[in-house]
Amino acid sequence: MRKSSFKFSIEPWITTAERVEYTTNIFKVLKRDMQIPSEDHKATFSILEAPDWINVIALTSDLEIILVEQYRYGIEKPTLELPGGVCDFGETPLETSKRELLEETGFKGKEFHDLGKVSSNPAMLTNYTHTFLITDCKRVSEQQLDGNERINVHLIPLKDFLDMVAHQEIHHSLVVAAAAKFLLSEHYLEFVGEES
């Protein structure tokens, strides 16, 4: 793995106290008292503590990507996304990826590649989102959705998916980040060769 050549130079803030303000079924709202030691400057920040998340770039042997269409309550609109979800306690990101792919789409794959992680939103969230490439996916079962999940599954040619990301038809920031991770990986070059 390549080592970073960038050296951070900004002085870190120090946490002096932290308290839970509110707990939901997805995250905890924290108040974090912090200071910059050299300036004796203090401030309190609102932080969302959340478990890690995953996104799955799931490809069939025909180089179709498996996408999920669902309604998103925050923007009050439907979105087209990668299968994904929350890492359960004690579960590795890879285990979560396999579970979420099967539950949301009914598909399983044969090969698994870790494409890395991104900070979900480091300004306020404590967690990371991991992206896995799962290949040679085939439908093996029906969906196993949670009570509030309504998901339509779509198989779309990989090139069309990337075009939809480029033209903002697919706009979920973590899906766009996963697409970038995929495009920057050696695995993308393998698939470009197959499509040529």
Structure tokens of 60? 């069939």
User: For residue 130, which of 194, 88, 85, 189 has the smallest C-alpha distance?
Assistant: 85
User: Closest by alpha carbon to 108, among 161, 178, 152, 61?
Assistant: 61
Q: Say yes or no to pLDDT of 196 above 50.
A: no
Q: Give the residue from 148, 149, 166 showing the smallest Cα distance to 158.
A: 166
Q: Which residues pair with 157 in a beta bridge?
A: 64
- Domains in the chain: ranges and CATH: 14-49 (no CATH), 53-195 (3.90.79.10)
Q: What is the pLDDT of residues 46-72, one digit of tens each?
A: 999 999 999 999 999 999 999 999 999
pTM, rounded to two decimals: 0.92
pLDDT above 90 (res 184):
yes
Q: By three-state DSSP, how is residue 184 classified?
A: coil
C-alpha triplet 142, 137, 61: angle, nearest 5°: 135
